[in-house]
Amino acid sequence: MVPDPATYPYARPALTVDCVLFGLDAEDLKVLLIRRKLPPFQDQWALPGGFVRVAETLDQAALRELREETGVEDVFLEQLYTFGEIDRDPRDRVVSVAYYALINLEDHPLEAGTDASQAGWFPLDPVPALAFDHRSIFTLALGRLQGKLRYEPIGFELLPAKFTLTQLQGLYEKVLGQPLDKRNFRKKILKMNVLVPLAEKQQNVRHRAAQLYRFDEARYQQLREKGFSFEL
């Protein structure tokens, strides 16, 4: 039986969701931020997010807040961590469930709304000062992304459908924050047999046009079922 709200003897913390979205733009990895329209931290940059409604799930709340504050929708959000420091929000006792996602910037135009006066993409270095404990949330999300990138082919979600090996290596270097040996990287990725070389090359480039590839997701799933491990 659900207790009568009028006589329920325990204080109930508020529940929010926060979203860390990473995207690739001109081979530069960026994070999506909004400028807050309302107090607290009015006019400061923050992660998209907000309070969970009584009649919605956490996933539904995260997708709704993301859509309302940035115009971004139809993305796969993965739950990251629960942040519950007592003084993390000056308004009340607030617990936040954080999510993160990878998207291609070209597929998701921005449109600020609700309690966000502006939405924009920012390079990871430096990220501006963030409201609440959003710096900690961002840092944890980036670390999770860096770890996951090494054992799952999630980086392909940030690239166009057709890409060069240089673009792929550039993505990994941006996410990991370190240079990679070109020869070793190409040897490892091609040996996995999950890239399909296309009968076409780059167009309208000043340097020598490079071979284009696409990621074969069906092939990857077949290999995975057989115990294949994607690891760079």
- Give a yes or no: residue 211 inside a domain: yes
Global pTM? 0.87
pLDDT tens track, the chain, 232 positions: 565 666 678 888 999 999 999 987 766 889 999 999 999 999 999 999 999 999 999 999 999 999 999 999 999 999 999 999 999 999 999 999 999 998 888 888 898 877 888 999 999 988 999 999 999 999 999 999 999 988 999 888 888 889 999 999 998 998 888 899 999 999 999 999 999 999 999 887 777 889 999 999 999 999 888 888 888 7
Domain of residue 164, residue span: 154-225
Whether 21 and 78 map to the same domain: the answer is yes
Same domain, 82 and 100: yes
Question: Both ends of the chain: CA-CA distance in Å?
Answer: 52
Tally of domains in the chain: 2
Is 1 inside any structural domain? no
> Tokens representing 157?
């979600």
* CATH classification at residue 182: 1.10.10.10
Q: What is the CATH number of the domain that holds 56?
A: 3.90.79.10
Angle, helix 182-191 to helix 165-176, in steps of 10 degrees: 110
81: Cα within 13 Å, side-chain hemisphere: 16
Residue 202 lies in a domain: yes
